[in-house]
Structure 1
Amino acid sequence: MSLSRWRFSTLSVSILLLCLLLIAGCGSSESKNTHAGVTPTPPPQPTPTVVSGPGQKTLDAMSQKLNTAKTIHGLFQLVSSSQAFNGTVKTELWKTAPAKSRSEVKQSTIQQLSAGSVAVNDGQQIWQYDPAKKIVYTGKISHAANTPDQQTKGIAGSGGGQSQSLLNVIQSIFDNSTGTLRSASVPVDGHTTLDIHVVPRASDESGTGSNFNYTGEVYVDNKTQLPVKVDLDINSLGKIAVTIPQLDINPSIDEKLYTFTAPAGTKTRPLEEASGNQNTGTLTLTQAQKQAGYHLLSIPGDQSDYTLQGVTALGTPGLQTYTLNYMKGNAAFTIAEGKPLANLPARGTQTSLRGTNGTTNTINGMTVLSWTEKSVGYRVTGKIPADQAMQIAQLLN
């Protein structure tokens, strides 16, 4: 999954929860051999096919516009009739690169999501307001939480396990789909749109080898070239529709939006106590290992050139991703790993490593090496050469 320049960080607990439900469905399709403890031999990877045509060009141009935006303001409405949940959630979102964000839940028919929930990140501190509990969870952002792999892009949400937010899933689809123009004039909510049919873009254009399979339509406004609606049918989950009644790129945003004052009568608690919090703070490797419940790969201690700065965890228990923040000299890089990252679609150069296949990509100077191993997804990210990322991957044990 690609990264943009200094991506935005931290979205609301509400959107995080929705995405975790998505990931739970998307990652549930495993082969019988995997369940039996046998890792199947991956098939040979054919040479990627270059996709072109008006639908693909529109999809790529729209994705680039979102990825490079300095500010974003949008209204999002999600309607789900999936196995995971049924209901509607309306959210308003503001973002300013590289790290400031605010999201508010305007309406919700989902029991776990309270209308009035607010999440604010001023680049240094996070506030999460839960009106149902009348509690504000707050805490400082660790230095590790602002490393490149933990920032976000476009309309996406929390980084470090980029697939941890619903909008990140949508952004991933914009970035990694094969798009085919079905119609150049489809009316959607007062807009005249292009109807672009999307399916996962795999190395062989079939989606083979990925548990994240979907089919759907992306409706793009003819004038603004921005998304208006996304209809998806995701395997093992169901139908999801995201309507975007307003999406402004590079608007002027009042900095006061990135401040938060707790309402009268509310309690203030440490961010770590937030139920389903999106960032548990910096952990030691031992703490993260115990929390994960499965083995986390890391660079061996005898590799003295590498220094582990700490580990951050994103997500709710059982669906967390862990980001190991390393330094080698003056170069910083991260190793993100977790079951929600497994088999996600990725665009780039196919490569072989650790007995499986991976993908390398470079965007705006950032190298991203991703692969899946024993049902866990891994991603090495940093301003480092691709061959160094490969060396780091091979060191992990």
Structure 2
Amino acid sequence: MSQHGSREDRLDTDVVVVGAGPVGLMLAGELRLGGAAVTVLDRGEAPAPRPRACALHTRTMEILDGRGLLGPRGTPPREMRGHFGRWAASSGADVRRRLELRGVTVTEEHVEAEALGPEGTVRLRGRYLVGCDGVRSTVRRLTGARFPGRVLFAGDAARRRVPAGGRALDLGLQDAVNLGWKLAAAVRGWAPPGLLDSYDTERREAGRRVPATIRAQPHQPHLPPGRGTGTDPPRALLGARIPHARLVTPWGPVMTTTAMLRPGRGLLLDLVGNPALRCAARPWADRVAFVTARPEPGAPPGPLHGTGAVLVRPDGHIVWTAPDRSGAALPRALLRWFGVAGQGPQALTGIED
């Protein structure tokens, strides 16, 4: 994206991402899903081969499934950088290699990255810059290990040491999915107050929970990603990731809840056919897809059984539920997570739009 005017007021992109590892490339794809222009800088010449990711945890596998990034049998990608690189490039991200970051300049309105490449110095201006360049982050070094306003960090660059238990890639990919839609919302101008700040708050808490999760792992049953046993006791849905379920939509074929997340927008899932929800959601149609669905015929009661509707963030977290046909507090939740609704009538869109 560029703006008219002199060099001083022109932007080359919305977001500059430093580091073309799995986290940086995942973030680039998420930003593109949210409608932000993104340029990725990496000092390497080509994607470095990586071993097959065999130890990704259930939450990460759910995320990858929600973006269509798993293999045909639900297997993780064998070669992480190339896999995510192809996804980021196909989404429209500009990935530039053989560029080593040498300087970062932060102002109140933009960030400028200066990098050295084979043809000399390259300068890029963006609204934000995200360091995804590892535990020895050059971005962190150049910015004095601070978190200046328009510079953010994800993955190992956001942490002072690599998490124990092989969780670094899990946490990094989860950082990218949490941050991507929020930063895109800020770029596009509809982010509600506090939305971007919630990235730091939520991911810090996730990092604090890792040691306890590692200690508990030997005592937890292994389940395929996103699946439940069907006999688990009821659990509160609010704040949790949307559980895997097979649902019948008006378009005919059975869809999974994870597949419904693939457009990268919010999701209002109506499970009882409540016309009031459709009316309430209409002003947010550019940010939230509305879907009426029913459980697959003959399927046993699942984790969504008894729920009237759920509002889901683009990263898969449920932020509002209705136990029946009630739509109480839905507009408040839409405002809290998806900002002020657009002006004028808008067509209500679904998953396939």
TM score, norm. by length of structure 1: 0.25
TM-score (norm 2): 0.27
* Larger RCO: 1 or 2 (CA < 8 Å, sep 6+): 1
| Greater fraction helix | 2
Give 1 or 2: higher strand fraction: 1
